[in-house]
Structure 1
Amino acid sequence: MSLALSPTQIKSLIDLPVYPESVATAAAAVFFLARAEEGKRLGILAAPGSPHMDRFAGERAEKGNLVLALCPLTAANARALRAIFAWLAPVPLGLRTSAGCGDRLGLATPGHIHAARAVPGIAMIFAQQSIRENARTGRTPQDVVDDATWGVFQEGWREGYGADADHLKTTADADSTAAAGYTFFTVDPGDHVDDAAHTAPFAELQAKVAALPWADLDSSVADMQARYLGKTFDLEDLHLTFSEETLFRAAAKYARAVLHAARVYRHLASKITDRPWELEVSVDETNTPTSHEEHLYIASELKRLGVQWISLAPRYVGRFEKGVDYMGDPAMDSPRLSSGQAGQALKEFERSFAGHAAIARAFGPYKLSLHSGSDKFSVYGITARRTHGLVHLKTAGTSYLEALRVTASFDPALFREIMAFAIERYEIDRASYHVSAELAKVPALETLGDADLSGLLDQLVARQVLHVTYGSVLTSERGFKQRLLAGLAAHEEEHYAALEAHFRRHLMPFRSANRKSTRGG
């Protein structure tokens, strides 16, 4: 027997607002999300004796010939709901053009979905958080997946979505995220990249290469030389040859990182045997760019060691700083480039990026991943075009900034407190980020009227100050997090509208580049 009720019928039965897109039926039960005075609740209406009722913890009441359950949004209830509706569980996305939407507050998924519906054809990751972000926000990997689950349920999104365990550095990180149901694992072996090798003299490179753990790499110096020297790698318009120095520099810089990525991959393969999953390898958070030869070396060695991956994030030329558009060569004096400098920087980026895209097609195909991808509007078209759609955009902090923009409009006093606190914390919190904002350039808050506050989110300096201090703000004893969450919940439509508008801009350049999923690297 099936049970069908419209949102209007449900509302009349329970006397609570119902999110209309959330209504879903399973056998003789109707599931929905309602908004009660104490917060959102999972609602279930079913005939007496329905087996579904026993799966969920919550309050029961009789409603005519039906039983109503109103359940808190707990991890156990989210898990039970995913078991009933497969579309609520994260899945791998394959080689489709994709975008990740990190959500540090746990409230943004509906807004992200609104944007995804407005710009269809892009595979979406709605659960994305790094171990560093979890530590700074006080959230767990399970919190991130569950918050995305409730957002997907609220909006009735049935197109599938991914869950990205971002910047995993250890097998312990991999274990905690695998247990939470993630399907996309970004391994960050950056701690094993030898940045000093980028400029080391050849004699030093020889010593570094001789000291590599060759047994663990299942190779030797001679074997490595045989694989690369004396050969030309023809990759579309890119033709690469390795001199001994170029090869030794690549190995000295990246061999240990490749080995660490392989170890984490093998660990994941041994642990996750009950569902499909996919891997990204990221070396973006390093001090020196990845050359084309180094990218080829990384891809070739990963493949030799049996690693299968769906995307890779080299360290690109120029600067992918947090929360602002692409910047050029760090040797330039100012992050605000002249029009001529900006044009030259984009030409250099496109030339370099085109080579990376050719390597990714030849050695996979796999996607190129854009980390710190928020607000890099000037390069989105380049990356979509040059990869032929084999690209993954990764964003995180920009959703938090949009939440602050909305907060400035309905609670300017709270925004002023957060901005002042962020200024206090900036010099400490910036240490683990690549940012160039200088506090002296932040406008004095007392000179700004309430109507001017949201404009701070359009300024490079203020954006970065707010961006990197999110952890301090959200864990402060001053109660910023609780007040933010309460205010955004009370103004959720404004919040969703701001996110939709912002992410339409992010997604639109990638729309025409979408590809059908095929097998990865």
Structure 2
Amino acid sequence: MFEQQPFTQVAESVTRHGDTTYALVNCDQPGDCQLLVRGVIDDFEGEALADGSLLGPRSAHNAAVLRQRLPWLQPAVLGLQTSAGFGDRLGIATPGHVLATRGTGVAPIYAQQSVRENTRTGRTPQQVVDDAMWGAFHAGWKEPWGADADHLKTLEDIPPFVAAGYTFYTIDPGEYVDDAADTDDAETLRRKVEQLPWSDLQATLEETSERYQRAFTLDDRTLTFTQEDLYKALGKYGGAVAHTARMARRLQELQGQRPFEMEMSVDETGTTTALLEHFYIASELKRLGVPFVSLAPRFVGRFEKGVGYIGDLDELTQNINGHASIMRYFDNSYKLSLHTGSDKFEVYPIAMQATGGLVHLKTAGTSYLEALRLIASIDRPLFREIWDFTREHYENDRRTYHVSAILSETLPAEHLTDEQLPELLNQFGPRQILHVTFGSVLDTYGADLQRILRAHLPEYYTYIQRHFDKHLAPFKQQTR
């Protein structure tokens, strides 16, 4: 099927379902691939050909029709499977993600972008889902995959993601986390606790004190809330729990009968999430009926963008084991989520051993860095220009990220040999600088990057697969 010229088909995409066959063709030509439909062509937009087939664009309209025809191309809920999220800031990386995922048993989230990332890349939630769907179709992926509306902060953030068919919603109530509660004096803490939105928490302070001021026996430890411990947990996270509950109610209203999953993320805050605080958060979310499938606490040490874990691994091991024991107390009903998880290769085996596979890995930006690695090898003048550009924009663009790269410790492009350019992607400081300046780079060089990468897609997919094979190997070995 589809052998005749002038079409060059993507073999993995050829799909027969019912009385109709679908394929992507002409992907070796400039611009996007085209959709070829032979059989029932109703509802698709495009050019009707003499033989009765249809040649159409990779448009939002055709994506919606194709999702209805091929149900596995619709994002799905993934439940408690070991899972991984793949951010794609360029919208062309999904076939590489599929290559790395296939055969691992890890449930993938191929569409994953935050409001912040969409703002910086100029993409909409619908475009992100459509790009991931076309990529999954391109690679012949027919297993469940998810779509993550990442780091939603306000009620107003939600509707565009619901309209686009997302199935996983990461709620980030970080603005309601009061880090100062860790060090507040007793009177200040008491005043803050009394002023919590108790109506949203559907409880009183007296009821909450009675519920928590006791000992809880876990599988390997006992957690005991003193009044001071409880007030610190309430002062720090009570507002965040209330906001998460509000976000959940809004999601339930908008989603209706459509299934969805939620994650609560407090990783991008200034202080570590104590074990007692994790216990309080999980217990309250369950009491309030929030349908959360994963929780991202702030672990000890530092999880910074694009680089390995910063801190003592023995301490992290103890910390993750403690968080996992709380998860088990609640009947393993949710997963621990590793945010800013890309390139933390030393952390993955620790997390898998502690959780028995109840873990979600969230990566973002690392596929973009692999694109720059390829550019550094095939278009060195452009990469030199981009490197100097990122050094100029780093101090401004870093403001919304937890990073510690020091600009003065890096060299401008004129002081680097051609052989040194790809090595920048292996170095702590340059890697973070390139990571957090993606929005500025795409504003200025986005068209150039797309043109070059689209001309070298097989190489780009190879780079991505190699990089994510290393990410997913520990999860594949111990998948539940």
TM-score, normalised by the number of residues in structure 2 = 0.98
Query: CA offsets per residue over residues 261-315 of structure 1, 9 Å max, x none?
Result: 0111111111112421111111111000000000001011111111121000001
**Mapped pair 1:192 → 2:214:** no
Q: 2:47 aligns with which of 59, 69, 81?
A: 59
CA distance in 1, matches of 2:246, 2:226: 29
Q: Where does residue 474 of structure 2 map in the other structure?
A: 509
For residues 358-507 of structure 1, the aligned pairs below 5 Å read 358-363=325-330, 364-476=332-444, 480-507=445-472
- 1:302 pairs, out of 256, 276, 285, with 285
Counterparts of 2:34 and 2:69, CA distance in 1:
14
Once the 2 structures are TM-superposed, how far is the Cα of residue 238 of structure 1 from its aligned partner? 2.1
Report the secondary structure of 1:389's partner residue: coil
Alignment of 1:163-242 (within 5 A): 163-229=147-213, 231-242=214-225
- Paired letter, 1:347: D
State the alpha-carbon separation in 2 of the partners of residues 162 and 107 from structure 1. Answer: 17
1:258-297 to structure 2, matched below 5 A, reads: 258-297=241-280
Matched-pair contact (CA < 8 Å) for 1:111–1:495: yes
Instruction: Give runs of aligned pairs for residues 329-344 of structure 1, distance below 5 A.
Output: none
Question: Given that residues 31 and 42 in structure 1 are in contact (C-alpha distance below 8 angstroms), is that contact kept between their aligned partners in structure 2?
Answer: no
Q: What count of residue pairs does the alignment treat as equivalent?
A: 478
| C-alpha separation in 2, matches of 1:228 and 1:302 | 14
Q: Deviations over 1:378-406 (max 9, x none)?
A: 11100011011000000011111001001
For 1:38 and 1:453, the matched residues in 2 are separated by 28
Structure 2 counterpart of 1:481, one-letter code: G
2:67 equivalent to 1:82: yes
For residues 118-150 of structure 1, give each alpha carbon's deviation from its aligned partner in whole angstroms, at most 9, with x where no partner exists.
x52110010000010000100000010000000
* Alignment gaps of 5+ in structure 1: 329-344, 516-521
CA drift at 1:16: 2.5
Deviates more, 1:134-143 or 1:218-227: 218-227
Q: CA deviation at 1:15?
A: 1.9
More displaced, 30-39 or 349-358? 30-39
Q: Alpha-carbon deviation of 1:444? A: 3.0
Match of 2:314 among 341, 344, 347: 347
Any idea what the Cα deviations from partners look like across 1:299-337, whole Å, max 9, x if unmatched? 111111111210000011100000000001xxxxxxxxx
Out of 26, 29, 32, the position equivalent to 1:40 is 32
SS of alignment partner, residue 92 of structure 2: coil
- Alignment of 1:246 with 2:195, yes or no, is no
1:41 Cα shift? 3.1
Shift of 1:60: 2.3
Is 377-386 or 211-220 further displaced after alignment?
211-220
User: Are residues 45 and 281 of structure 1, via their aligned partners in 2, closer, same or farther at CA, if it must alter by over 3 Å?
Assistant: closer
2:308 to 325, 334, 346: 325
Matches within 5 A, 1:68-217: 68-117=53-102, 119-217=103-201
Counterpart residue identity of residue 212, structure 1: L
Q: Distance in 2 between matches of 1:124 and 1:43?
A: 24
Percent identity, please.
52
CA distance in 1, matches of 2:19, 2:100: 33
Note the C-alpha offset of 1:45. Answer: 4.2
Q: Which residue of 1 aligns with 2:8?
A: 17
The Cα RMSD (Å) is 1.2
Q: Corresponding residue for 2:324? A: 357
Query: Structure 1 residues 121-130 or 357-366, which shifts more?
Result: 357-366
Q: Distance in 1 between matches of 2:278 and 2:478?
A: 23
* CA distance in structure 1 between the aligned counterparts of 2:194 and 2:173, rounded to whole angstroms: 21
Bigger shift: residues 19-28 or 185-194? 19-28
Distance 1:430 1:395 in 2: 18
Q: Partner amino acid for 1:263?
A: R
SS of 2:304 mapped into structure 1: coil
SS in 2 for 1:164: strand
Aligned counterparts of 1:35 and 1:291: Cα–Cα separation in 2: 54
User: What TM-score does the superposition give when structure 1 sets the normalisation length?
Assistant: 0.90
Contact 1:97–1:513 (Cα < 8 Å) also in 2: no
Could you tell me whether the CA contact under 8 Å between 2:35 and 2:58 is conserved in 1?
no
- C-alpha displacement of 1:20: 0.3
What is the letter of the counterpart of residue 101 of structure 2? A
Conserved? CA contact 1:99–1:125, under 8 Å: yes
Pick one of 280, 290, 297 that aligns with 1:314.
297
